[in-house]
Chains A and B, each alone.
Chain A
Amino acid sequence: MNWWQRLVKRDQLERQLDAELQFHVEQAVADRMRAGTSEGEARRSAHIELGGLEQMKEECRDARGTAWVETALQDLRFAWRNARKSPAFAIAAIGTLALGIGANTAIFSVVNAVFLRPLPYAAPGRIAWVRQSQPGHDGSTALMPDYAVWKLHNTAFERLSAYQVTLGMNLSAPNQVAERVQAGHVTHDFFAMLGVRPRIGRDFEAGDAESGRDTVVLIGDSLWRNYLHGSPDVLGQSIFLDGAPYTVIGVMPPGFVYPDANDAALWLPDAVNAVCSVPSRAWCDVSVIGRLKPGITMEQARADLELISKRMDGQYPRPLFSAHAALSVGVLPLQEHLTRGSRTAIYVLMGAVGCILLIVCANVANLFLARAAAREREIGIRAAIGASRFRVVRLLLAESLMLGAAGGLLGILIPYWSAPALGFLLPGTIPRSIPMDWRVLGFAAACSLAAGILFGLAPSLIASKLDLNTALKEGGAHPLDRRRRSRLRGSLAIAQLALSLVLLVGAGLLMRSFVNLLNVNPGFDPRNVLLANMQLQPRELYGPARQRDFFRRALAAVQALPGVQSAAVTSQPPLGASVIYLHLLGAEAEPVHVTAASADYFRTLRIALLQGRPFNEGDRDGTERVAIISQAAARILFKDRNPLGRRIQDRNNDNWLTIIGVAADIRHGGLDQAVWPELFQPYPQAPVRDMSLVVRGDSDPSGLAPAIRKAIQAIDREQPVFGVKTVETLLSNSVAQRRQRAWLLGAFAFLSLVVAMVGVYGVMAYSVTQRTHEIGVRMALGAERDDVLAMVVGEGLVLALIGVAIGLALSLVLTRVLASFLFGVGPHDVVTFASVSVALVAAAYFASYIPARRATRIDPIRALRHE
């Protein structure tokens, strides 16, 4: 019989053991009677010779090696009976544990999705991100010439590939409405490097990007299904990108994710050739990803590439701002690079839920201590009839582990429904799902186990150290025991308060940052304004003259639409700018954002014009070049002189511009961004092919989108209108991450506060119950109800003040990690620290007021008789 059978067939083994021993005794008795002894005497001496039957049986059972399981089962049965006897206790414990473990598992599921889940590529551990950095500044890309030379000479990589993300391309196909798509520009071996193959057709080949050959494209699964209707004869079909024909050679598998640009809809094999035109090669950069040869470390690869770069100076043109050798090379795991922006936020939240779990454990430990006190006599009796200390601890631990497991099972439900709400924590560079895999379940199990031990062990150790004599006497434990226990309960409450304060301070800082952000005046009126982007293609067709003509007609058409109050075009719309134009202006070559805008731009966005005049129809191509500058630009370019009528040189194109107006500053890049120094030019004098329509409607402008699209495509049906959004949406999106982080941490802090207050209430209520007699004596001796009230509440406040003091000290150290999330407040903001402390003390006051009131209602006569 193996171990498992011995465990399961326990009853059969017991029967056999009885039979075997009985046989022995019967034989011994028979032998003795044959020798002439009387039956009684024979039986007696046979038993003496064999020894104590029960003890022997116990030793035989031990020999099976299954005893520990059986006692464990026994303990669990006992724990279950206990839980059923006091359901309120069990429900309170399991409920709070489920919250604590659930919150932890939910955040861990994000940690798992971001940092632990392998990327969906073949052997992802060998895929490395390569970057070059200037001293003191971490870059994320590499110079094109360095990449080209690395590719030729490196010995560390199986494949070294590169890619570029651009703003997008205008896609059209026969009998299809034009659309805007994201394109990935890759080297031909990019997919082979990742270990992904097209589901239909072929991968790129070495010659695909050479000039003179057909231009080819690989398309994504969703583009194939939605735009090309999943047509099976898609291979060889032509589609048009920015007006030029491309032949489809394959379709990528569904769910294929392109590192660092999840929304790429198609791929072109021209990372090196087309995007960076040859004259600018020297300072053009690309994103470099490679697959290391087996056994090569990231560090070896780094050293290899750096050595190659160092030898380049002298042989190749110098980059714009430094020598090749001055740039340091970094090689890091792809996953680490893709998730670098999410690290701090996720770790902060993990710390927050860790605090919650500790608070919950302290709470349940307090419940346990209270119950252990009520069970002193029971435990005393167990000890008196021979249960070892270890046995008693095991019994109590079985109970806490059972509650922990129940809480864990319930808690696992939380990440199931919280997963969609936590999606905002995922960086946009990895697959956007939060899986519930074995790691998450394992973590939940580990949490339950750790919690069970944490809140179960300390109370059981104390309970098992009871003095037997006093425990069995009427009146319970020795006063010394009681004092030690109440001190432990007090410290647990203090720990809860301190941790809760840390969370409240963190949440308070984030909330204040968020409110500060909302109070920032953007400088324009975001209500009822719609943005829509266009990029005129093909390049050859749309020269400056046609650009002017197109946007003039587009503006006229849109302004004529019903429901449109005013409309303008601009090359850099607020919050939605896809291209940043930074020019160097004036004698000092100051960097200033230069925007092309139409006459009604300031009126449409309601940007205040502080001096001078807006653009008008007279500011055309060929008339004097004019410009409006922002206040910030005026300060930088003209100091305290009046800028009106002055001329300034744009060093990017050597044009001289006459200043005709000064506009108020706006938060162009977002509410949390610094104000840009800006210069606006009338678009006919500075035509650009990338322009955005800015449309102010009479009311909510979202409904205008189809009409605008129709009006534009009536002018040229090959021009897609894309990125159509209201400015309010953009504004809300720009603060969404902060809002969600603040809410999440706020929710956690509130949860911790509630649990901590239940903890304080529990401690005070229990203390009042324990001291019924004492309070009765005090009242009999003349203490007023107010004295009693003050005494109990005072004790609660002492706990709160100690907790607050410790919490403040912890917060001073810990809030520093939040520094990068704050806006308009420092990590040691006095207002936040003070108001949170006051709130916590007030809450503790109320939590101890309820038991204090009960203490005042103690009837001294009954309290004294009770003893």
Chain B
Amino acid sequence: MASPKSDLPQGTLDLLILRIVALGPIHGYAIAQRLTEMSRHVVQVPQGSLYPALHRLENRGLLSAQWKQSETGREAKHYWLTAKGRAQFRNEAESWLRLSEAIHLILDSGQAEVL
């Protein structure tokens, strides 16, 4: 039986996008592919939300964008992190890790009795 995919928790799409863009300038299609790869068997990334999210992050000043030649030679809109975006990513990633660790701990300690 294939393991069921979970929906992406609220607000984590932005975090994932920031994580991917942090590696260097990248265009929307490539981000979509990375997202699909990264999450292949675990979470469902709604592709339709990608571009609105990118535009939101750009307008909030977390991402910067410029039209550059892509690997195929066509002009594509490339995104990269701004200083503000980098700081935001660091903060959110940290707090996310702390939270998930805490939840992990709670679930672990209670497992024996419940199951």
Give the B-binding residues of A (Cβ under 8 A): 1, 6, 16-17, 19-21, 23-24, 26-28, 30, 49-52, 55-56, 59-60, 62-65
B52 touches A23 (CB 8 A): no
A63, B55: Cβ atoms under 8 Å?
A: yes
Please give the distance in Å from B74's CB to the nearest CB on chain A: 6
Q: Are A51 and B48 in contact (CB under 8 A)?
A: yes
Q: Does B32 contact A (CB under 8 A)?
A: yes
Complex Cα spacing A60 to B67, Å: 18
User: Are B28 and A50 closer than 8 Å at their CB atoms?
Assistant: no
Could you say which of A20, A30, A52, A60 has the most chain B C-beta atoms within 10 Å of its C-beta? Answer: A20
Docked CA distance A674–B75 (Å): 96
- For the complex formed, measure the closest distance between the CB of A116 and the CB atoms of chain B, giving whole angstroms: 42
Count chain A CB atoms within 10 A of each CB in B46, B47, B49 and give the residue with the most.
B47
A28 / chain B contacts, CB cutoff of 8 Å: 29
A52 / chain B contacts, CB cutoff of 8 Å: 48
CA–CA, A188 to B46, complex, Å?
85
A20/B48 in contact, CB under 8 A: no
Known interface pairs A24-B51, A26-B74, A56-B52; 4 further A-B residue pairs with C-beta atoms within 8 A, sorted by A's residue number: A50-B47, A51-B48, A59-B49, A64-B55
| B90 CB–A CB distance under 8 Å | no
Contact of A60 (CB < 8 Å), options: B29, B51, B72 = B51
Q: Of A27, A30, A56, which is within 8 A of B51 by CB?
A: A56
Interface residues of chain B, those whose CB is within 8 Å of chain A, are 27-29, 32, 46-49, 51-52, 55-56, 59, 67, 70, 72, 74-77
Q: Chain B residues near A56 (CB, 8 Å)?
A: 48, 51-52
Contact B52 A49 (CB under 8 A): no
- A49→B45 CA distance, assembly (Å): 10
CB <8 Å contact, A16 and B77: yes
Say yes or no: A27-B29 contact (C-beta < 8 A), given A16-B77, A49-B47, A50-B47: yes
Task: Name the CB-closest residue of A to B77.
Answer: A20
Question: Do residues A65 and B59 form an inter-chain contact, with CB atoms below 8 A?
Answer: yes
User: Given contacts A16-B77, A63-B56, A65-B59, is CB(A24)–CB(B48) below 8 Å?
Assistant: no
Give the complex CA separation of A17 and B77 in angstroms.
9
CB distance A24 to B28 under 8 Å?
yes
**Contact check: which of A19, A24, A64 meets B32 at CB < 8 Å?**
A24
Residues from chain B with a CB closer than 8 A to the CB of A62 are 52
Q: Would you mind naming 6 contact pairs between A and B with Cβ atoms under 8 Å apart? A: A21-B51, A23-B27, A23-B76, A51-B46, A59-B49, A64-B55
Q: Determine chain B's interface SS by DSSP, over half rule.
A: helix
CB neighbours (8 Å) of A50 from chain B are: 47-48
Given contacts A60-B55, A64-B55, A23 and B74 within 8 Å (CB-CB)? yes
**Residues on B with beta carbons closer than 8 Å to the beta carbon of A51:** 46-48
* B20: min CB distance to chain A, Å: 15
Which among A20, A49, A65 is the interface contact of B28 at CB below 8 angstroms?
A20
Q: How far is the CB of A299 from chain B (nearest CB, A)?
A: 52
A24 to B32, CA, bound (A): 9
Q: How far is the CB of B59 from chain A (nearest CB, A)?
A: 6
Residue of B nearest to A28 (CB): B29
Residues of chain B within 8 A (CB-CB) of A59 are 49, 51-52
Measured CA separation A64–B48 after assembly (Å): 17
Q: Are A60 and B52 in contact (CB under 8 A)?
A: yes
Most buried by B among A16, A59, A63, A65: A63
Nearest CB in chain B: distance from A420 CB, A: 54
Q: A16 — which chain B residues lie within 8 A by C-beta?
A: 67, 77
Q: With a CB–CB cut-off of 8 A, which chain A residues contact B51?
A: 20-21, 24, 56, 59-60
B56 CB to nearest A CB, Å: 4
**Which residues does chain A contribute within 8 Å of B75, judged by CB atoms?**
19, 23
The closest CB in chain A to the CB of B46 belongs to A51
Given contacts A56-B52, A63-B56, contact A23 B47 (CB under 8 A): no
Q: Is the CB of A23 within 8 A of B48?
A: no
Q: How far in angstroms is the closest Cβ of chain B from A62?
A: 7
- CA A30 – CA B76 in complex, angstroms? 15
Bound form: Cα–Cα A24–B75 in Å: 11
Give A23's nearest chain B residue, CB to CB: B76
Query: Are A55 and B55 in contact, with the CB atoms below 8 A?
Result: no
- Chain A residues with Cβ below 8 Å from B55 are 17, 60, 63-64
Q: Distance in Å from the Cβ of B68 to the closest Cβ of chain A?
A: 12
A27 and B72 within 8 A (CB) = yes
> B77 to nearest A CB, angstroms?
5
Residues in chain A near residue B74, CB distance under 8 A: 23, 26
**B27 contact set on A, CB distance < 8 A:** 23
State the CA gap A21–B51 with chains docked (Å): 8
* A-side contacts of B48, CB under 8 Å: 50-52, 55-56
How far is B67's CA from A17's CA once the two chains are assembled, in angstroms?
12
User: What is the bound-complex CA distance between A541 and B15, given in angstroms?
Assistant: 103
Docked Cα-Cα span, A65 to B58, in Å, equals 12
**Is A6 touching B72 in the complex (CB atoms < 8 A)?**
no
Q: Who on chain B is nearest to A58 by CB?
A: B52
Nearest CB of chain A from residue B45's CB, rounded to whole Å: 11
Report chain A residues within 8 Å CB of B52: 56, 59-60, 62-63
User: Are A64 and B47 also in contact (CB < 8 A) when A23-B29, A27-B72, A59-B52 are?
Assistant: no
- C-alpha gap A237/B70 in the complex (Å): 92
A17 to B47, CA, bound (A): 16
Contacts of B76 in A (CB 8 A): 20, 23
Leading 8 A-B pairs by shortest Cβ distance: A51-B48, A59-B52, A63-B55, A63-B56, A27-B29, A60-B55, A24-B29, A20-B77
CB-CB under 8 A from B47, the residues of chain A are 49-51
Cβ distance A661 to chain B, nearest Cβ, rounded Å = 98
**How far apart are the CA atoms of A60 and B65 in the complex, in Å?**
15
Known: A21-B51, A23-B74. A6 touches B59 (CB 8 A): yes
What CA separation (Å) do A16 and B59 show in the bound complex? 14
